Amino acid sequence: MMVPGDYVLADYDENHDFMWLRKISDKTLNNILIHKAPYVDSTQLSLTGMKAIRDTLGLHYVSSDKERSYMKIDDINLPLFHDFTKINDNHAGRLRGVWMMENDIMGGPFTSYAILDQKRNEVIFIDAFAFAPGELKRDIMQQLDFVLTTTSTP
Protein backbone atom coordinates (compact mmCIF):
# COMPACT_ATOMS: atom_id res chain seq x y z
CA MET A 1 0.00 0.00 0.00
CA MET A 2 1.35 3.43 -0.89
CA VAL A 3 0.60 5.47 2.24
CA PRO A 4 1.50 9.19 2.24
CA GLY A 5 4.34 10.12 4.61
CA ASP A 6 2.14 12.27 6.86
CA TYR A 7 0.37 9.22 8.31
CA VAL A 8 1.62 7.93 11.66
CA LEU A 9 1.16 4.64 13.44
CA ALA A 10 -1.76 4.99 15.88
CA ASP A 11 -1.96 1.35 17.01
CA TYR A 12 -0.37 -1.98 16.22
CA ASP A 13 -1.33 -5.42 17.47
CA GLU A 14 1.03 -8.07 16.18
CA ASN A 15 -0.93 -10.86 17.88
CA HIS A 16 -4.09 -10.00 15.94
CA ASP A 17 -2.47 -8.85 12.67
CA PHE A 18 -3.85 -5.33 13.06
CA MET A 19 -2.47 -1.88 12.25
CA TRP A 20 -4.04 1.58 12.48
CA LEU A 21 -2.56 4.54 10.60
CA ARG A 22 -3.73 8.11 11.24
CA LYS A 23 -3.29 11.55 9.70
CA ILE A 24 -4.26 14.52 11.86
CA SER A 25 -4.72 17.99 10.41
CA ASP A 26 -6.45 21.17 11.58
CA LYS A 27 -9.81 20.14 10.12
CA THR A 28 -9.70 16.39 9.54
CA LEU A 29 -8.77 13.10 11.10
CA ASN A 30 -8.08 10.47 8.42
CA ASN A 31 -7.65 6.83 9.37
CA ILE A 32 -6.61 3.57 7.75
CA LEU A 33 -7.15 0.19 9.43
CA ILE A 34 -5.37 -2.93 8.17
CA HIS A 35 -6.16 -6.44 9.35
CA LYS A 36 -5.46 -9.87 7.95
CA ALA A 37 -7.07 -13.18 8.77
CA PRO A 38 -7.04 -16.73 7.42
CA TYR A 39 -9.41 -17.22 4.50
CA VAL A 40 -12.32 -19.41 5.59
CA ASP A 41 -14.92 -18.94 2.87
CA SER A 42 -16.47 -16.40 0.52
CA THR A 43 -18.78 -15.00 3.23
CA GLN A 44 -15.79 -12.98 4.51
CA LEU A 45 -16.13 -10.84 1.37
CA SER A 46 -19.93 -10.53 1.65
CA LEU A 47 -21.83 -7.58 3.10
CA THR A 48 -22.55 -9.49 6.31
CA GLY A 49 -18.99 -10.74 6.65
CA MET A 50 -17.38 -7.36 6.00
CA LYS A 51 -19.77 -5.63 8.38
CA ALA A 52 -18.86 -8.13 11.11
CA ILE A 53 -15.12 -7.63 10.58
CA ARG A 54 -15.40 -3.83 10.60
CA ASP A 55 -17.64 -3.69 13.67
CA THR A 56 -15.32 -6.08 15.54
CA LEU A 57 -12.28 -3.92 14.76
CA GLY A 58 -14.21 -0.80 15.80
CA LEU A 59 -15.28 -2.39 19.07
CA HIS A 60 -11.78 -3.56 20.01
CA TYR A 61 -9.56 -0.76 18.70
CA VAL A 62 -11.37 2.52 17.94
CA SER A 63 -12.83 4.70 20.67
CA SER A 64 -13.00 8.33 21.72
CA ASP A 65 -12.18 9.87 25.07
CA LYS A 66 -15.73 9.10 26.28
CA GLU A 67 -16.15 6.08 28.50
CA ARG A 68 -17.52 2.94 26.80
CA SER A 69 -17.28 4.52 23.35
CA TYR A 70 -16.49 2.46 20.26
CA MET A 71 -16.89 2.78 16.51
CA LYS A 72 -19.60 0.89 14.64
CA ILE A 73 -21.38 1.00 11.31
CA ASP A 74 -24.51 3.14 11.21
CA ASP A 75 -26.77 1.26 8.79
CA ILE A 76 -29.95 2.35 10.59
CA ASN A 77 -29.96 5.97 9.37
CA LEU A 78 -28.16 5.51 6.04
CA PRO A 79 -27.74 2.51 3.72
CA LEU A 80 -24.65 0.42 3.19
CA PHE A 81 -23.38 -0.14 -0.33
CA HIS A 82 -21.67 -3.43 -1.12
CA ASP A 83 -20.24 -4.78 -4.34
CA PHE A 84 -17.33 -6.81 -5.68
CA THR A 85 -14.26 -5.50 -7.44
CA LYS A 86 -10.62 -6.31 -8.15
CA ILE A 87 -7.64 -4.82 -6.33
CA ASN A 88 -4.44 -5.52 -8.28
CA ASP A 89 -5.94 -8.69 -9.81
CA ASN A 90 -7.24 -9.98 -6.46
CA HIS A 91 -10.96 -10.57 -5.89
CA ALA A 92 -12.33 -8.15 -3.28
CA GLY A 93 -15.53 -7.14 -1.57
CA ARG A 94 -16.11 -3.40 -1.20
CA LEU A 95 -18.28 -1.80 1.48
CA ARG A 96 -19.18 1.89 1.77
CA GLY A 97 -21.26 3.68 4.34
CA VAL A 98 -21.12 5.77 7.47
CA TRP A 99 -19.73 5.02 10.90
CA MET A 100 -20.75 6.37 14.25
CA MET A 101 -19.24 6.36 17.70
CA GLU A 102 -21.39 4.56 20.23
CA ASN A 103 -21.74 6.66 23.43
CA ASP A 104 -20.31 9.78 21.72
CA ILE A 105 -21.28 12.27 19.05
CA MET A 106 -18.90 11.41 16.23
CA GLY A 107 -19.31 9.89 12.80
CA GLY A 108 -18.40 10.09 9.17
CA PRO A 109 -17.89 8.14 5.94
CA PHE A 110 -15.91 4.94 5.47
CA THR A 111 -14.80 2.60 2.70
CA SER A 112 -13.66 -0.97 3.31
CA TYR A 113 -12.17 -3.68 1.13
CA ALA A 114 -11.81 -7.37 1.93
CA ILE A 115 -9.16 -8.64 -0.47
CA LEU A 116 -8.68 -12.35 -1.09
CA ASP A 117 -4.99 -13.29 -1.23
CA GLN A 118 -5.23 -16.77 -2.73
CA LYS A 119 -1.47 -17.36 -2.63
CA ARG A 120 -1.39 -17.03 1.16
CA ASN A 121 -4.97 -18.19 1.76
CA GLU A 122 -5.71 -14.94 3.64
CA VAL A 123 -8.18 -12.09 3.61
CA ILE A 124 -6.68 -8.64 3.92
CA PHE A 125 -9.21 -6.21 5.34
CA ILE A 126 -8.41 -2.55 4.71
CA ASP A 127 -10.61 0.29 5.85
CA ALA A 128 -10.47 4.07 5.57
CA PHE A 129 -12.62 6.43 7.58
CA ALA A 130 -12.68 10.16 8.12
CA PHE A 131 -13.80 12.49 10.87
CA ALA A 132 -14.14 16.02 9.52
CA PRO A 133 -16.97 17.99 11.16
CA GLY A 134 -18.28 20.75 8.92
CA GLU A 135 -16.04 19.77 6.00
CA LEU A 136 -16.96 18.30 2.64
CA LYS A 137 -15.86 14.69 2.72
CA ARG A 138 -15.96 13.65 -0.94
CA ASP A 139 -12.38 14.66 -1.77
CA ILE A 140 -11.09 13.24 1.52
CA MET A 141 -12.68 9.87 0.84
CA GLN A 142 -11.48 9.82 -2.78
CA GLN A 143 -7.92 10.31 -1.56
CA LEU A 144 -8.31 7.59 1.08
CA ASP A 145 -9.88 5.22 -1.44
CA PHE A 146 -6.94 5.78 -3.80
CA VAL A 147 -4.51 4.82 -1.03
CA LEU A 148 -6.49 1.65 -0.28
CA THR A 149 -6.55 0.57 -3.91
CA THR A 150 -2.75 0.66 -4.11
CA THR A 151 -2.69 -2.42 -1.88
CA SER A 152 -0.89 -5.35 -3.44
CA THR A 153 -0.18 -8.86 -2.27
CA PRO A 154 3.22 -10.52 -2.68
Query: How do residues 89-131 score in pLDDT, each as one tens digit?
Result: 999 999 999 999 999 999 999 999 999 999 999 999 999 999 9
Residue 107 CB partners (closer than 8 Å, separation 6+) = 74, 98, 99, 100, 101, 131
Whether the Cβ atoms of residue 71 and residue 101 lie closer than 8 Å to each other: yes
Please give the Cα distance from 78 to 44 (Å, whole number).
22
Please give the Cα distance from 94 to 116 (Å, whole number).
12
pLDDT higher than threshold 90 for residue 153: no
Please give the Cα distance from 73 to 62 (Å, whole number).
12
Sorted by where each starts, the structural domains of the chain and their CATH numbers stand as: 8-148 (3.40.1000)
Query: How do residues 4-61 score in pLDDT, each as one tens digit?
Result: 999 999 999 999 999 999 999 999 999 999 999 999 999 999 999 999 999 999 999 9
